[in-house]
Amino acid sequence: MGQNESLQSANGVSRLNTSDTTVNRQSPWPEYPAFQVIHQDTFGTGTLSLQVRSTAFFKNNEFKNPLCPGYTLAGLFAEPVVAFRPDEKTTLRGGFHLLKYYGRDTLDRILPVMSVQFDVSRHFSMIFGTIYGTVNHGLIEPVQNLENYLINNYENGIQLLFNYPSVRSDIWLNWEQFIKSGDPFPEIFTVGIHVDFTLADWQGISLTAPFSSVIRHAGGEIDTYWGPSGTKLHLVYGLRLHLSLQDLFFTGMYGIQNFVDFVEVNPDDRITIPYGHGNYSRIGFETRIGNFEAGYWKSTDFDAPLGQPLFLSVSRKYPGYYQAGREMLVLKYQFERDLSRFLKLAVLIEPYYHFDIRRMDHSFSVYLLLNEEFFMAKTRNKT
């Protein structure tokens, strides 16, 4: 069977070969790849399918610092979506995003999922409606907290995905809060771009230059809201060197250097941090029993509304508490294992040592992930 031919599934429906170069897909970014969605057409034109994405989670944050309280997240989100492909380039999706915390009798969130995806080519896709968000943007932890994937994994707007051999990118607009005339709250939206430029790729050695720009705006002109407003800009740039290994134990190693700038574009009198910056240096080892990473974070006056609170200068625990300089050692152990064709297990152990307050915090989390598509029906062609 040729590379561009289809695989025949048990129900007689053509299931596309995922090695086919005509299949549009976005391979995972280096940041938390176990949680990312790979976009690909599974069954082909004229099919109706059920896409099920679900993550059961238990995350225990043992934090005893003045910046972020300790807490436990225990629950499950599920996103059953029906997908219809009227032609080879278009996919229509509709379903629900459900969030349930253990120990509560009701669902915490029931949200509609609606999107239209158009694959302009095998390198470029457009999504309108519910987009692939949170960790799928590939942002580093100081700018995008992994917990957003668990409890706020719902983004709506416009997304452009590019996937070329030397450059791939995600450009998105997430409209978080829409306002009508007279609403007592502001409009909130996030615009972002993340790009990976491949500078070299030779005999298992790759050098890439990641760049991210994220703008989050809160404001509006037709509401009656008089609280704080503003536009926060984050720039992330640096280099990533990765070496693939054929050792019996080590499968790869990498080094990453990121620089981060934060700017309040139009601050009002209530904004206390107009500018900040930080740098994040990491080295990691990929092994057959999981990945080990050590990182060093140092920043001054850094703030990010969607970032991990331990990296920030503004406290999420005590209103008004502020610590200009931050210096932290970040250790990570990540393990993932396929339990079956449908289920994946992931474990994260994350110690944090704060040099500035001389104390250790840690987080332990375990996840059961499902991301699969099931054939439902094939439509008949009109004659």
Specify if 242 maps to a domain. Answer: yes
Structure tokens at 97: 């995003």
> Domain tally for the chain?
1
Specify if 149 maps to a domain. Answer: yes
Please state the rounded mean pLDDT for residues 181-200: 86
Specify if 383 maps to a domain. Answer: no
Specify if 346 maps to a domain. Answer: yes
The domain of 161 spans 7-378
Structure tokens at 304: 């990010």
Q: What is the largest CA-CA distance in the chain?
A: 74
Return d(Cα 118, Cα 243) in angstroms, integer.
35
Specify if 183 maps to a domain. Answer: yes
Place of tokens 């930080």: 278
| Contact (CB, 8 A) for 238 and 210 | yes
Neighbour count for residue 62 (Cβ, 10 Å): 14
Q: Which CATH number fits the domain that encloses residue 209?
A: 2.40.160.10
Structure tokens at 195: 């790009």
Please state the rounded mean pLDDT for residues 100-118: 95
Structure tokens at 281: 């240096």
How far is C-alpha 271 from the geometric centre of its chain's CA atoms? 28
| Contact (CB, 8 A) for 66 and 318 | yes
Question: Could you read off the pLDDT of 43-66 as tens digits, one per residue?
Answer: 788 889 999 999 999 999 999 999
Specify if 1 maps to a domain. Answer: no
Specify if 111 maps to a domain. Answer: yes
Structure letter (DSSP) for residue 151 = H
Question: Could you read off the pLDDT of 218-263 as tens digits, one per residue?
Answer: 776 676 566 666 788 999 999 999 999 988 899 999 999 999 999 9
User: Model pTM greater than 0.85?
Assistant: yes
pLDDT at residue 40 is higher than 80: no
Question: Could you read off the pLDDT of 276-309 as tens digits, one per residue?
Answer: 999 999 999 999 999 999 999 999 999 998 999 9
